Amino acid sequence: MVKQRSSEHKKVYSRILLGSIGCVIITLLITSTILYMNFINNALKQVYRSDSNSLNQIKTELSSMTEIVTSLSSQIYSDSAVSKLLYYADLNIYDVIFAQQQLDNYRASLPFIESIYVYNAKSNQFYISSNNARSGIQPKSELDDDGILDLFKKFKEHRPFQPIPRTYNIGSAQNTPVSSYTYLCYSIIDDNNDLNTAVVVNISASWLDQRLDQSAKELSEKNTFIINQDGILYSSNDMHAMLTDMSDKTYIQKIIQDPSNSTYFVDTVDGVKSLITYTSPDSLGWRYVRITPYSNITQEISGMRYRILIICIGILLLGLLISLTLSHGVYRPIDKVIRKFKTLETERRDHQHILKQDFLRNTILGRETNNAEVLQQKLQYFNSGLMVNSKSLIVLVRIDQYLPVLEKYKDDIKLLKYGIMNVCMEIASPTFQSEAIDMGDDSLLLMLGFHDPLYNMERDSLIEMAELMQSSITKHLKLSISITFSPVKESIEQCILVYKQVLEASYHRLFKGQGCILFSVDIMNLKSKEYMFPVHKEKQFIESLMSGNVDKARSIYIDIVGEISEYSFTVVQLVISHLALTVNNVLRALKKNNAILTLPEFDTTFLLPNHVETMEEINTPYFKIFEEISQKLEEKRSTKQEDLIRKVHQIIERDYSNSNLSLNSIADEFSMSPIYLSRLYKQLTTNALSDKISELRLNKAKELLKTSKYTIGDIAEKTGFTSSSYFYRLFKNSTGITPSDYRKRINV
């Protein structure tokens, strides 16, 4: 009986033990499954939110690009130089060259523009500005872009300023494929419903592809692309080219059938299980799609599931063997979990720092706008001590000699910037609550809020703080920085509004030098000064270049550039650009007149403000081209030719009073062909021989008007003019006044 009870107790014990173990195992399995499914759902939602935000940002950028192109097209139409290409059938070469230069300037100002077409139906020509050899004039019948002619025929099917994706071939053999987004702008339609004028802006599709690739750079397997409402691919992706019909794809059909929502789903794409995220249609009917392999999302979660199962089994086995083993077995996984949590916490802090930087940068750049209350809430969320309504200022820090620094540190440049921000924040901390933002390139921004709102910090104190920042960074990081202060404002919102002024003021490092300390209020005061470009100096500058007088050209250039340091940076850019255009015009004039057959190209990329830090970097290319022009002119001249010109001038000086003095008479004296003498003289002096004769006679006439009492008719006769009326007309065309008025003016 005892044995039977003992046996029954053992069975009951065994059943209870097995039941307990079974319950624990089932509970663990159910719990693990629920957690695993929750992890999967949360991971999918997190990836969707990230992808959706990225896609919406791309949508916003494309909309912004459309606005920029719209503004650019309107500006081209209103540009007085380019409008001649639109409305006039016959243009002289100077108008065409100047207008073409304007188109090149418009295109160069926006990096994503592949080309600009200006169409004039009267001349039946296209004027093209492109980043390759296509730039120039192409008759409509010989246009290397046939696709644009098809668009013109069907222009009513497209709204103005609506991007039209297309792929076309260019080149002499039509063998260079180009993918672009074409914006069509037209203003006049004739009676046949044909375009009279049009401006076409082609945006490089590769530029948008790069934006799509950059937005998905966290995972190389991500695939981002754009489709229209019919499933046509409006951007290239990993497998297909632009304008590929993808409507036969199952996952594309699901997106098309959902006409309004922005959501996600899981499906198989090219044999791979993937998460498909897509947006609602934008104003163009375009949809932005991103495909993320499912394995990338669930890889870490799957590993976690197996680890949990192994840990659970280990706990059960260790619990059945010995309590000590169980204690040690439990401690080890707990320790692993704690270390895992610490790692996750570190990653969360790093991610928090990135989000904080993005938020502050977008707020400063105006990409994200919030009222004071929302802005304060977000600052508190990111653990920032800044108070929105406290007295504040911003400080722009720019790294000097940035390109060499970037080349030296390469992948560690972000760490270097982080060090600079920490040094600056530490120095500012006694007086300010501060935040530092990496603004990209060589720029860092400090947002400083006063601890004491009643404290007034004088300019000398700000300079002292800036000098301490500079000396500390030079000492610890071996770098030089330039610093620009904004005015003190009553709130952070007001500081954000003056960022562009501070950025513009920082460009005056050109004149103040590296390691300078600037105040934006001083630079902004320069905007009130009116600047008048010295046209007379420009004329002397051109004459010096044309004659090869390097020293004089350099001196005049330095005079012109030296005057602009006390004006706004807009004036600086315009003057430097104007001088670059003048130099290019001189080069073209020398080539056209065959004064110099081969001349170097004048590269103007240094004109961009972010590409230079000192005036020396701007002056050097100018001085170099001056020397090259002089050298080429010197090589062109020979002793014999100079002797010929000298003798021609002697004959003109000798016989200017003889009305029979002309090109033919001079050519007869040298036993030369008049045509050859005229061409040779113009090649060597860049002036016509007849103009030289007229110039000398007018100068002699001016001397007689000053020093004699001869009548106008007598003076005309003594200076070799055939008639008084011709002398009168030529004198007025040259001086702007009549001979009589000239005599009255000099005798006053």
DSSP-assigned states of every residue in 139-174? EGGG-S-HHHHHHHHTGGGS-TT--EEEEEEESTTS
**Overall pTM > 0.85:** no
Question: Is residue 261 in a domain?
Answer: no
Q: Are residues 672 and 732 located together in one domain of the fold?
A: yes
Q: What count of residues does the chain have?
A: 748
Q: Are residues 627 and 591 located together in one domain of the fold?
A: yes
Q: Are residues 115 and 169 located together in one domain of the fold?
A: yes
Q: How far lies 269's CA from each of 54, 239, 292, in Å?
A: 21, 11, 10
CA distance 242 to 174: 18
Q: Are residues 672 and 560 located together in one domain of the fold?
A: no
Question: Is residue 540 in a domain?
Answer: yes
Q: Are residues 367 and 499 located together in one domain of the fold?
A: yes
Q: Which of 182, 208, 234 is the last residue of a domain?
A: 208
For residue 685, give its domain range: 650-746
Is the Cα torsion angle 233, 237, 242, 248 positive or negative in sign?
negative
pLDDT for 445 equals 92
Question: Is residue 509 in a domain?
Answer: yes
Q: Are residues 486 and 558 located together in one domain of the fold?
A: no
DSSP state of 279: P
- Which residue has 């972010």 as its token pair? 610
* Domain count within the chain: 4
Give me the CATH number covering residue 104: 3.30.450
Question: Is residue 562 in a domain?
Answer: yes
Is 727 within 8 Å of 704 (Cβ atoms)?
no
Question: Is residue 4 in a domain?
Answer: no
pLDDT for 9 equals 46
Q: How far apart are the first and last CA of the chain?
A: 151
Question: Is residue 184 in a domain?
Answer: yes
Is 499 within 8 Å of 364 (Cβ atoms)?
yes
Q: Are residues 562 and 701 located together in one domain of the fold?
A: no
Q: Are residues 556 and 518 located together in one domain of the fold?
A: no
- Please count the CA atoms within 13 angstroms of the CA of 79 that sit on its side-chain side: 21
pLDDT for 219 equals 46
At residue 437's C-alpha, the angle toward residues 434 and 443, to 5°, is 120
Q: Which of 522, 554, 584 is the last residue of a domain?
A: 522
Q: Are residues 623 and 736 located together in one domain of the fold?
A: no
Q: Are residues 568 and 463 located together in one domain of the fold?
A: no
Give me the CATH number covering residue 739: 1.10.10.60
Q: Which of 470, 495, 522 is the last residue of a domain?
A: 522
Mean pLDDT by 10 residues, the chain (748 residues): 47 53 64 68 74 78 79 82 81 84 84 85 85 81 81 78 81 67 74 77 78 57 78 76 82 81 82 84 82 75 66 66 53 57 55 84 85 87 86 92 87 89 91 89 90 83 92 91 91 88 87 88 81 86 82 88 81 84 83 61 61 80 83 67 82 88 88 85 84 89 88 88 88 88 81
User: Exposed, middle or buried, 562 (CB in 10 Å: 0-12/13-18/19+)?
Assistant: exposed
DSSP secondary structure string, 180-238?
EEEEEEEEEE-TTS-EEEEEEEEEEHHHHHHHHHHHTTT-TT-EEEEE-TT-BBSS--S
pLDDT for 469 equals 93
pLDDT for 158 equals 76
Question: Is residue 74 in a domain?
Answer: no
Strands 176-189 and 195-204 come out as antiparallel
CA distance 119 to 100: 13
Give me the CATH number covering residue 461: 3.30.70.270
Q: Where do the H-state alpha helices sit in 637-748?
A: 639-655, 663-670, 674-685, 689-707, 712-718, 724-735, 739-746
Q: How far lies 227's CA from each of 53, 212, 223, 247, 594, in Å?
A: 18, 13, 13, 9, 54
Q: Are residues 656 and 600 located together in one domain of the fold?
A: no
Write phi, then psi, for 511 (nearest 5 degrees). -100, -35
CA distance 375 to 29: 46
Per-residue burial over 162-184, b if 16 or more Cβ lie within 10 Å, else e, is ebbbbebebeeeeeeebbbbbbb
Question: Is residue 661 in a domain?
Answer: yes
Q: Are residues 496 and 552 located together in one domain of the fold?
A: no
